[in-house]
Structure 1
Amino acid sequence: MHSYARAARRFGLLLPLLLLGTAPAAVIGPTAALAKDAPAAARSSVPWLYKGSDVPVDPEWTFGTLPSGLRYAVRHNGVPPGQVSIRIRIDAGSLNETDSEQGFAHLLEHLSFRESKYLKEGEAIPTWQRLGATFGSDTNAETTPTGTTYKLDLPNATPATLDETFKLLSGMITAPIFTAHGVKTEVPIVLAEMRERGGPAQRVAEATRALYFQGQPLANRTPIGKVETLEAATDASVRAFHDRWYRPENTVIVVAGDVDAAVLEAQVKKWFGDWRGVGKFVPTPSFGAPAAPKGSDPANPVGDAAVLVEPDLPRIVNYAILRPWHQVNDTIAYNRGLMLDQMAQALINRRLEARARAGGSFLSAQVNQEDVSRSADATFVSVTPLGEDWQAALRDTRAVIADALARPATQEEIDRELAEFDVAFAVPVETRDTLAGSKLADDIIRAVDIRETVASPETVLKVFRDMRAEFTPAAVLAHTRALFSGTVTRPVLVTPKASDATPASLRQALLAPVKADGSSRLAAKAISFKDLPPIGPAGTVTAAAPTGLLQIESVTLSNGVKALLWNNDAEPGRIMVKVRFGNGYGAIRPEDATYVSLGNAALVSSGLGTLGQEELDRISTGRKLGFNFAVDDDAFEFTADTRPADLEDQLYLFAAKLAMPRWDANPVVRAKAAARLQYESYVSSPQSVLQRDLDYLIHGQDPRYKTPTPAELEKTTPEGFRRVWEPILASGPIEVDLFGDFKREDAIAALEKTFGALKPRPAATSARFAPPFPAPVTRPVVLAHHGDSNQAAAMVAWPTGGGRAGIRESRQLEILAQLFNNRLFDRMREKLGASYAPQVQSDWPLDRETGGYIAAAGQLTPQAVPAFFSAADEIAADLVANPPTADELSRITEPLKQLISRAATGNGFWLYQLEGAAVQPSRLGEVRSILDDYSRTTPEAMQALAARYLVGQRSWRLEVLPEKLVTARAGIPGQPAASN
C-alpha cells in the first residue's frame, strides 16, 4: 500500500540511499501472485496492480492490460487545470545489464530522446517546448537499478496536443533510432554527467555500495555505468539491450490529468496497442541475497568492514543490517506490519534526537529500514560524531538502540507517536483535492517499482485507525528486534584521518558489548496550548478593505500589524501562513554576519516562552504545525503550512516567538558544530566550492553572504547570538499573510488574539545594505577544489540592475536568460559533450537597487573551461548583433506562459508574488502584468536587452579548478586557493 503507508517514516534516513547510489523509488521485487484461495471470478476482476492484495482498489483509477501484456492506469485529475501527466516505466534498469552493458539502460534513455520514429535528431527538446513543456522539469526521465521511467507533464492539453504527445512518446519507446553517430554523440554527454557526479562523495557511495552488497549485482551496478563499457557501446549493442527489455510485458503506462479517463485509455490503446516485443521474452535475472561470513556468530554476524579515508569529508559511521529480500503480497496485514516497523523506528529516532540535543557525543544519528532494489531488506544506522571520537558516538548510539531492544516502550511513548501518525494520515484525506496529477502518476509508478498497491487516503487512514489497538509495547518490541536482526551486518567509517581506525578496529567496535542506555527515553506528558500564557490583551481590527485583486483583503490591527487574507477553496484543507517582520539582511550589521547562518539553523529551536525544542515538538504532536525561518533582502520570514483546526495555534507560535523569545544555548552550540563539520567538506568538489563562495563573491564580498569559517564560528557564543537576534525579533513592521481554506471570522479572531496582542513595535534598525555586483575582471577569479582532477566549473556574469521600478525588465530578462540557456545547452552539451547541464539564470533583486546579474555556468573538465568562456562570449555577442527567430522565442515564451498559468492555480504562487503587499500596496499592481511580462515580447526587444546588458567588458568571471592545477599555474608551492 504505497505512498501514505510509508508517509509515517518521518525520520527516514536519506544518507544510506544516497551512498548506495540508488533512488528511493526502486526497492521491492516481482509482482505478487494472486491468492490461490480467491474465487475465480474475483481473480479475473481484480485490477493488475491489486493481484494478491486485499487492499481496497482505488476507484478513481481505471486499470487495463493490452493483449501484448502492456499494463496501464489512467484517471481524471484537475490539478492543475489543463495538465496531463504521463509516465512510461520500463521494468529494466542497471541490474538488467550484463558486464559488457554497464550504463546501457541509462544511455538508452538518452538515445530515446535523441532520435526516434517521429522525431528527427535534435528535434525532441524544441518539439516539447513548442507544446509548452520545459525540458528537464516537465519533460524528463530517470534510470534506477530496477527500472527506467519517462516523464512528461503536458500543459494546456488539447485533443490535438494530447494525440501528438502520445504519438511522439510511442515512437521514443517502441521505435528509437540507433545510429553510430547518435551513440558517438550521446556517450560524451553521459560521461560528462558521470564526471560531474564524481569526487569524494561519489567514491564513498561506490565503496559503501560495494561493501553492503558484496557478492550481489548491486555491488557494482549503477545506472551511470562504467567508462569502458560506455565507450565500447555501438548502435547494435544498444539496440540489443533495447530489444531484450523494451517490451510490452515490461511496460507500464500511467496517465493522470484534466481529461476524461476514457480518452486517456483510448490514447494508450491507439499508440501502443500494436506494439510487440522482438524475440523471446527474457525473465528478469536474479539479484542475489546478502550472505553471512563463514564462521560468524549467528547472534551477531558482523561481516567485513571498510574505513574510507577522505580528507575533505567529515566523519560518519554507517552500518547496515542486511536480510534477504523476499516477495510479499501487499495485504492489509502486511501494511499493519510496516506500520509497526515504522513505530519502532520513530521511537528510536526520537530518543537519538533527544540525546543529540542534550549534548551527546554525536551531532545526529538515525535508523531507517528500506527494501533496496530487490537485493536486500536492510536496516541502516547512520551516526555523525560531534568531534573526532567516532567510537564514543557509535557506542552511545548503539546504547540507545540496545535499550530499545532490551525493554519495551511505554504505552505513553507509543501514543505520542500514534498521534503523529494520525495527523500524517489524516492530512491527505483533508487535502486530497489538492493532489496534482503528476504526484498521483508518480505514486503509481513507485508502487509498480516496489511491487505494492496504491490506496485512497481514506483507506490508509482507516487501516491505521482500525489497528491502533495493535500498537502495544510487546508488539513494538517484537518488531524492533526483527529490524535489528539479520543475515549479516557491515559497517563503514568515513574519516579524514587514516589513523582513526582500521577495518578490524571498526568491526570490533561494532562487536563490543554496550550497556543499554534509557536516559533519552522521553516522558510523554502532553502540553496544551490552553496552558500557555496569552501574548497580551487581544487587539482589534481597525481597518479592513478589499485590495481589488481577486478576493484578497487587507487588514490592519490596532497595534499596527498588517495582514493579507485570502480565504479560498483552491486547496481544501490547507492554509499557507507567512509572517514577515523587520528589515532582513539590512538589519544585520556586517560585523555580525556570522550570526546569519546560525540564525537560520538555531533561531527557531532556541525556543519561545516556556517551550524549548523538546516542548515545541511535544506541543505539536498530532497537529499540522510548521515553523520555518528564512532571511530575505528586506524582511525576516516565518512560514508554515497548516490546516483550519490548527490555524490559531500556528499563529500563536509565530507571535510568541516575537513576543517572548527563549534563548536556549544548546541549539546554538549544535548549529556551530554542524557548520564546522560542513565547512570541512566545501573543498571536495567544484560544486561545493561554489556553494561556499559564490553568493559572497557575486554580492561584492558583502560579509552577510559569506559562509563563516571555523575560526569565525569559534568566536560566536550563545550570548552573542541573543545580542544579535533579540532586537531583530522585537522591532520593525509585521505583515501576516493567510492564503487558503479558512473562515474569515475565525482568522480575524485568531489574529486579534495573537498578533493583535503584540505590543506596538519600534522601528527596526537598518545597516547599509547595497551589495554591489563585483567589478569586471580581465582574468577569471580562480578558486581551488580538492576533488577529482578532471572536474572544474566556470561562470561568466554580466551586471543588470535591481528594484521594483524595473519589474517588467526583470521578467523580460528571464526570457533572454532562457534564450541564452538553450543556446549554451546546445553548444556545450549537444555539440561538444563538454557539460551535462550548463545553465543560465537571471537574478534581479526587487527589494534593493543593486546587485542584479545574468550568469552562465557549467561544470566541465579543466581543459574545457576556455571553450566554455568562448561559447558564452560568442552567444552573448550574437544575441547583441542579431535578434532571435520568432520560433526560437516562442519556444521560451510558451513554456513560461504555461508554467505561470499552472502555478497561478495554487496559493503558493500568489503568496510569493504578493508578500509584503500589506505594507507596500503598490506590489498588488505588479502581479497584474506578470503573465504578459513573461510571455509577450519581440525579437527586437530581446536584442535591445542583450545590447544593454551583455556587454563583454563589464563581465565578471570565475573558474574553479583542481588545487594542483592552480598551484602549478602559480608556480609557487602553497599558493592560496583563490586569487583575482
Structure 2
Amino acid sequence: MRYPRQQTAFFLLVLLGMLSGLLLLSPRLQAANQAPCLTSGWPHESSELQPDPSLVFGQLDNGLRYVLKTNHTPKNRVAMYLNVQSGSLRETEAQRGLAHFLEHMLFNGTTHYPPGTLVEYFQSLGMGFGGDTNAHTGFDETVYNLLLPTNGKDVIAEGFQVLADYARGALLLEGEVDKERGVILSEKRSRDSAASRVSKKQMQFDFKGSLVAKRFPIGLESVIKQADAKLLRSYYDRWYRPENIIVVVVGDMDPSMVEPLLAKAFSPLRGVGEVGECPDYGQVAEKGTDVLVLPEQELGYTELSLGTVFNEQPQAETKGWEEKQLKRYLGVHLFANRLKKMGEDPKSPLAQLSIHGGNFLNHYGVASLSGRVNNGRWREGLQQLHTALAQIQRDGFDQKELERGKREIMAMLRKAVQTSSTRDSRALAGEIIQKLNSQEVVLSPEQEMQLYGDTLKQTTLDDVNEVMQALWKHPRRLIEVVGIMPPELQGGGADDLVRDAYKTAIQVAPAPWVREKSGQFPYLTPPAELPGSWKKEQGNPAIGVQSYRLGQGVTLHIKPTEYQANQVALSVLFGQGKLAAPHKGMVLLAQDVVNGSGLGQLTKAQLQSQLAGSNLQLDFRIGAESFAFEGTALTGEFERLLQLVYHYLKDPAFREDAYLRSREKLEQMYRQMETTVVGTQQTLGERYLSGSRAEYTLATWDEVAAIDLNQIQSWLQPALFDAPLEINVVGDITPQQALELINRYFGNEKRMSPPITRTPKADFPFGATKHIQVVSSIDKALITVAWKTNDFWDISRTRRLSLLAAILDDRLRVKIREELGATYSPQVNSAPSRAHDGFGLLRSSLIVAPEQAETLAQTIKEVADSLVQQGVGEEELQRALKPILTSIKDIKEDNRYWMESVLKLSSRHPQQLVWPESILEEYAAIQADDVTALARQYLRPELAATVIISPVAAGKTDNLNP
C-alpha cells in the first residue's frame, strides 16, 4: 500500500527525507470545529504552541490569508506560492479531473496575460518554465509557485499580479480549453505505467467506500474530453475565492515592503457565487480480512503487503497531540530498522522491506508492512510479515533499539537546527503550506528541537510499545499480492489461497526477535600523523580553491563556502570507472554490491547501527571516468565521514549475500524496464545512438547476469588499494581543518597510476531510423531524435550547445505542446561526452500516442531545420538565455556546482578550475549568430538519427528488435 504524502509537518518531512523505505503520511488532522473544505484563521490561534517567530501572518478584509518570511537562499530571489485549499476531492461526479484541468488553464490566458504570453513573459524576466514557475494538484490542494529572478519591488509586484490573476482572473476561453485538452491527455498518457496503475487499484481497494477511491487528481478521460469553459468555470468560481486561498512568500525580501504590494494585488478580489458544500469523505470498513490479488506482469516484480486502514476523527492540535505523534513516528522508525535488517538476510523470502504508518488526508489511519517477493516465495513472505508484526505486538522493542532510534531522530533534529540559516526558500514555502493545509502550527527548527527533543528524552520503551499496539489494534487486515503472479495465483481461487495462507501464518507462534551483534566502528587505526607533510599546489585563488599534494598519489582540492551552513560535501575519486570495465554488465552490479556489502568486519546492518546518531551519507559510484565515494556530513562529523571512506578503501567487502540481493533487485528492474518505452530507450535505444558506449547506455540483463562476484572483486579491489586518489572538499569548513584531518588519514598513502585506458571512437547512425517494439499494454510511444555533436572539452562550444538545446526545447514546446497539443513535456538536452573524443549527443525526446509517432518525429526534424534555415532570432535567444543566466547565479552559490562541475576530476582536467571565472560573462556574451552557426553545423535533417519505441501486444512482435 502506497499513498501520496499529504500535509506533512516540517519536522517529519526532514525525517522522511533522510530515511529510505519509510513513509509517514499526514500526521495532522484538522481541528474538529472546522470544515475540511474551508478553513479560517491560523492553527496557532487555537493551540498552546506558538508559531515560528520569524513568520509574519496576515489576513485581508476579503478573507485571503498570507504568510511572509525573510530567507536568503537563494540570494536576491523570492519564492511566491498561491495555495488554493481545494483539489480533486472537491469535484462533483461530473467534474472529475477539473481541478487539474484548471491548473493547466491558468497558464493559458488571464486578465493581464493573454493566451500564449505568460510563459514568454516569465522567460523575459529570467525565469524558466517548469523550474521557476510551476503548479501541482492534489486531493485537497492546488498550489501555484513562482521563483522570482530578483527581489526588486517592481518584480515582486508583478509576481503578485500573476498570482492574483491565477486566483480570480482566469479567462477560460473555449479555444484554449480545446487546445489544452490534448496536453492533459498527453500528460495522462506520459504518467501511465504499471506502477501507477497498481498504485491506483491498491488505493481503490484500501479505501473502498470512501471518496478517496474515486477522486484521483488526473480525473476521468471521459470528463477531460467533454469538459468545456462553462464546466471549468463552475469549479473555479466555487473554490477559487480569497477566503479559500493562502499566499505564502519566502525569500530575500523585507516583509514591510512586501505587505502593501500583496494587499494592493489581492484586496480587490472577490468570490463569485456560494462556496461549495463540504464533501463527505466516507468511511472505510474496519473489520474483516480483505485480499487483493492483482496480476500486473509489467510491474517486473511481485510485491506483498500486510496492512490496515481505519477511520480517524479530526483533533485539535495540542502539545500533547504532537508528543503522541512523535512517539508513533519513533515506533514506526524502530520497526523500519528491524525490517531493513530482515531484508538483508540472504535467506529471507522478501527484499526491500518497508513500513508505512500514520494518517492520510486527515481522515484515515494507515499502517502496512511490505516487501518484494524473492523467487515466488509469497507464502513464506506472508509468514515473515506476520511474524515481524506479531513479535512487536507480543514482545515490543528492546532498550537498545529505542536508544538507537532516539539517537537517529536527535541527529536529524540537530541537523535541522544547524542548517536552518541556509534553507532553500522554495522548500520552506512548501513546508509552510503543507502544515497550514493540515491545520498544524508552523514551528521553527529550534522550536521543534525543544518540543521533540524534550519528548524524546522522556519517552520510555513502554510509551513506544503502547503506541505501536494502538496503531495495529484495529481488526481489519488488508493482504495484497501485486505484480508478477506465481503459477498458483494465476487461476481462479487465488484470493482464497492467499486468505488460507494468512490463516496458517497467524496460527504460528512467533519466535523471539534475535539481535545481531553490533560490532565496532572505527576499527582501523590510521597511520601516524605527518604534520606539514603536504605540498601546496597551484589551485585557483581566484575562485577560492586551494590544492595540495599529500603522500604519494593523493591530490586534495578544498573550496570553503558558507552556502549550506554547517554542511560539508566530500568526494574521493580514483581509477577509471566505466572506461576500464572489463565486461559491459559490470557497472550497475558492482556499484550495488559495494554499497550493500558494508565493510570487511561489519555487515551493512552492523555499520548502520554503529553510525546511528550521525548525519553521514556516503555512496559508491562508478562514473564515466572514475570510481568515487561521494558523501555529505555536518561539519562536526567530517572526521567520521573520512573514517568511513578510509575503511572502505582499506577493508572493502564483497559479500555473497549482497551480490545475490543486487542480482535479484537488478533483475526486477530489468523486467520492469523491458516492458516500458523509457526503459527500452535506456538499453536498446541509447546503445543504437551511441555505438554501445557505457557513458550513455545500460548493459542488457543478459550481460549483467553473466557477471560473478569474483569478477567484481578482481576489477575493483586493485583500484581501491592502489589507484591514486583525488579528494575534494566543498563546504562550511576551514581549509586548515580539512587539510589536517585528511592528512591524518591519507597522508601516508603510496599509490601508483595504472595505464590509462584508450577511448575508442563512438559510432553514430547518421540519417537512420530505428523502430523498436516493446511488449506492453501501456498506450504510449517514445520518440528520440538525436544529432551527433562533439565532446565536452571545448567549453565555449559546450556552453553554446546547451543554449541551442534550450532554444530547440522552447520551439518544440510551442509547436508540439501548445499548437498541436500532442505531448505533455518535450525535452531537449545536450550531452557532450567526457570520455569519448569528438562525440556528443543533442537529443530531443517526446512521449506521444503511438499512431502519431512517425509524424511527430518528422515534426521534430522540421522544427530543428527551421533553426538551420531561419537562424535564431534575438528575442528567442534572450528568452532562452535569461533563465540560464539566472540559474548560473544560483548554482555558483551551491556546493553541488563546485563539487560536480569544478572540483571533481580537476586533477586530470585542470581547466575545470578556470571555467567558473568565465561562465557568467561568456554565456551573457553569446550572440544569436553563434548559436545559429552551431544549428547549421549539427542540426541538419540528414544528420539526425531517430529511435521510435512503440508498444505491441504480447505475441505480436515483428522481430524488429536486435
Bin of the TM-score, shorter chain as denominator length: over 0.9
State the SS of the aligned residue for 1:240: helix
Preserved contact between residue 786 and residue 841 of structure 2 (Cα < 8 Å)? yes
Preserved contact between residue 792 and residue 798 of structure 2 (Cα < 8 Å)? no
| Of 140, 144, 148, the match for 1:154 | 148
Question: Separation in 1 of the partners of 2:341 and 2:510?
Answer: 13
Instruction: Please tell me whether residue 310 in structure 1 is matched to residue 302 in structure 2.
Output: no
Distance 1:853 1:544, change over 3 A: closer
* Aligned equivalent of 1:752: 743
Instruction: Deviation per CA, 1:615-637: give whole Å up to 9, x if none.
Output: 32122111121211222222212
Instruction: Deviation per CA, 1:942-979: give whole Å up to 9, x if none.
Output: 211101111222221101111249x8xxxxx6533515
Question: Separation in 2 of the partners of 1:312 and 1:466?
Answer: 44
* Aligned equivalent of 1:37: none
Question: Separation in 2 of the partners of 1:94 and 1:27?
Answer: 20
Preserved contact between residue 211 and residue 306 of structure 1 (Cα < 8 Å)? no
Instruction: Please tell me whether residue 389 in structure 1 is matched to residue 377 in structure 2.
Output: yes
Which piece of structure 1 moves more, 368-377 or 732-741? 368-377
Which piece of structure 1 moves more, 727-736 or 132-141? 727-736
Instruction: Please tell me whether residue 321 in structure 1 is matched to residue 308 in structure 2.
Output: yes
* Aligned equivalent of 1:408: 396
Instruction: Please tell me whether residue 641 in structure 1 is matched to residue 632 in structure 2.
Output: yes
Question: Separation in 2 of the partners of 1:807 and 1:519?
Answer: 62
| Of 345, 362, 365, the match for 1:358 | 345
* Aligned equivalent of 2:205: 211
Instruction: Please tell me whether residue 342 in structure 1 is matched to residue 329 in structure 2.
Output: yes
Instruction: Deviation per CA, 1:632-677: give whole Å up to 9, x if none.
Output: 2222121111122211121121122222222222111110110111
Instruction: Please tell me whether residue 543 in structure 1 is matched to residue 536 in structure 2.
Output: yes
Give the aligned residue type for 1:183: V
Equivalent positions of 1:547-558 (< 5 A) are: 547-558=540-551
Preserved contact between residue 362 and residue 393 of structure 1 (Cα < 8 Å)? yes
Give me the TM-score of the superposition, normalised by structure 2. 0.94
Distance 1:627 1:201, change over 3 A: same
Question: Separation in 1 of the partners of 2:56 and 2:267?
Answer: 17
| Of 529, 532, 539, the match for 2:524 | 532
**Deviation for aligned residue 1:709:** 4.3
* Aligned equivalent of 1:936: 925
Question: Separation in 2 of the partners of 1:699 and 1:661?
Answer: 34
Instruction: Please tell me whether residue 815 in structure 1 is matched to residue 803 in structure 2.
Output: yes
Preserved contact between residue 71 and residue 251 of structure 1 (Cα < 8 Å)? yes
**Deviation for aligned residue 1:47:** 7.0
Distance 1:500 1:134, change over 3 A: farther
Give the aligned residue type for 2:770: V
* Aligned equivalent of 2:766: 776
| Of 736, 742, 764, the match for 2:754 | 764
* Aligned equivalent of 2:42: 48
| Of 647, 664, 670, the match for 1:673 | 664
Preserved contact between residue 538 and residue 752 of structure 1 (Cα < 8 Å)? yes
Question: Separation in 2 of the partners of 1:270 and 1:524?
Answer: 65
Preserved contact between residue 732 and residue 763 of structure 1 (Cα < 8 Å)? yes
Which piece of structure 1 moves more, 313-322 or 75-84? 313-322
Instruction: Deviation per CA, 1:47-67: give whole Å up to 9, x if none.
Output: 713133222310111001212
Give the aligned residue type for 1:508: D
Question: Separation in 1 of the partners of 2:54 and 2:400?
Answer: 38
Give the aligned residue type for 1:533: T
* Aligned equivalent of 2:440: 452
Preserved contact between residue 32 and residue 52 of structure 1 (Cα < 8 Å)? no
**Deviation for aligned residue 1:528:** 4.3
Give the aligned residue type for 1:674: K
Instruction: Please tell me whether residue 879 in structure 1 is matched to residue 879 in structure 2.
Output: no
State the SS of the aligned residue for 1:396: helix
| Of 850, 853, 856, the match for 2:841 | 853
* Aligned equivalent of 2:411: 423
Question: Separation in 2 of the partners of 1:517 and 1:785?
Answer: 45
Give the aligned residue type for 1:782: H
| Of 481, 499, 508, the match for 2:500 | 508
Distance 1:209 1:737, change over 3 A: same
Distance 1:940 1:906, change over 3 A: same
Instruction: Deviation per CA, 1:298-327: give whole Å up to 9, x if none.
Output: xxx313534334355310113431111321
State the SS of the aligned residue for 2:201: helix
State the SS of the aligned residue for 1:872: helix
Question: Separation in 2 of the partners of 1:47 and 1:279?
Answer: 22
Distance 1:264 1:558, change over 3 A: same
Preserved contact between residue 792 and residue 959 of structure 1 (Cα < 8 Å)? yes
Gap runs ≥5 in structure 2: 1-7, 35-39
Question: Separation in 1 of the partners of 2:325 and 2:687?
Answer: 46
* Aligned equivalent of 1:614: 605
Question: Separation in 2 of the partners of 1:557 and 1:454?
Answer: 48
Instruction: Please tell me whether residue 844 in structure 1 is matched to residue 815 in structure 2.
Output: no
Instruction: Please tell me whether residue 2 in structure 1 is matched to residue 9 in structure 2.
Output: yes
Q: Give the share of equivalent positions with the same residue, in percent.
A: 23
| Of 590, 597, 600, the match for 2:588 | 597
| Of 330, 333, 339, the match for 2:320 | 333
Instruction: Please tell me whether residue 952 in structure 1 is matched to residue 952 in structure 2.
Output: no
Distance 1:454 1:945, change over 3 A: same
Preserved contact between residue 762 and residue 836 of structure 2 (Cα < 8 Å)? no
Question: Separation in 1 of the partners of 2:23 and 2:541?
Answer: 51
Preserved contact between residue 829 and residue 838 of structure 1 (Cα < 8 Å)? yes
Instruction: Deviation per CA, 1:180-236: give whole Å up to 9, x if none.
Output: 111111111111111112242232122112111111111121111111111121111
Give the aligned residue type for 2:558: L
Equivalent positions of 1:694-705 (< 5 A) are: 694-702=685-693
Which piece of structure 1 moves more, 642-651 or 279-288? 279-288
Distance 1:771 1:491, change over 3 A: farther
Distance 1:244 1:13, change over 3 A: farther
* Aligned equivalent of 2:5: none
Equivalent positions of 1:128-139 (< 5 A) are: 128-139=122-133
Equivalent positions of 1:223-234 (< 5 A) are: 223-234=217-228
State the SS of the aligned residue for 2:446: helix
State the SS of the aligned residue for 1:681: helix
* Aligned equivalent of 2:37: none
Question: Separation in 1 of the partners of 2:778 and 2:550?
Answer: 60
Preserved contact between residue 117 and residue 172 of structure 1 (Cα < 8 Å)? no
Give the aligned residue type for 2:716: W
State the SS of the aligned residue for 1:192: helix
Question: Separation in 2 of the partners of 1:600 and 1:167?
Answer: 50
Question: Separation in 2 of the partners of 1:200 and 1:164?
Answer: 42
CA RMSD of aligned residues (A): 2.4
Instruction: Deviation per CA, 1:244-301: give whole Å up to 9, x if none.
Output: 1111121111000111012222222111112111122234212122123xxx5xxxx3
* Aligned equivalent of 1:978: 961
* Aligned equivalent of 2:915: 926
**Deviation for aligned residue 1:457:** 0.8
* Aligned equivalent of 1:42: none
Gap runs ≥5 in structure 1: 18-23, 35-45, 968-972
Distance 1:407 1:62, change over 3 A: same
Which piece of structure 1 moves more, 409-418 or 489-498? 489-498
Which piece of structure 1 moves more, 80-89 or 267-276? 267-276
Instruction: Please tell me whether residue 144 in structure 1 is matched to residue 138 in structure 2.
Output: yes
Question: Separation in 1 of the partners of 2:33 and 2:953?
Answer: 58
Preserved contact between residue 247 and residue 277 of structure 1 (Cα < 8 Å)? yes
Distance 1:327 1:408, change over 3 A: same
Distance 1:16 1:333, change over 3 A: closer
Instruction: Please tell me whether residue 252 in structure 1 is matched to residue 246 in structure 2.
Output: yes
**How many residue pairs align between the two structures?**
942
Question: Separation in 1 of the partners of 2:186 and 2:619?
Answer: 36
Distance 1:977 1:768, change over 3 A: farther
Question: Separation in 1 of the partners of 2:754 and 2:624?
Answer: 14
| Of 541, 564, 581, the match for 1:571 | 564
State the SS of the aligned residue for 1:549: helix
Give the aligned residue type for 1:353: K
Question: Separation in 1 of the partners of 2:697 and 2:857?
Answer: 26
**Deviation for aligned residue 1:13:** 7.5
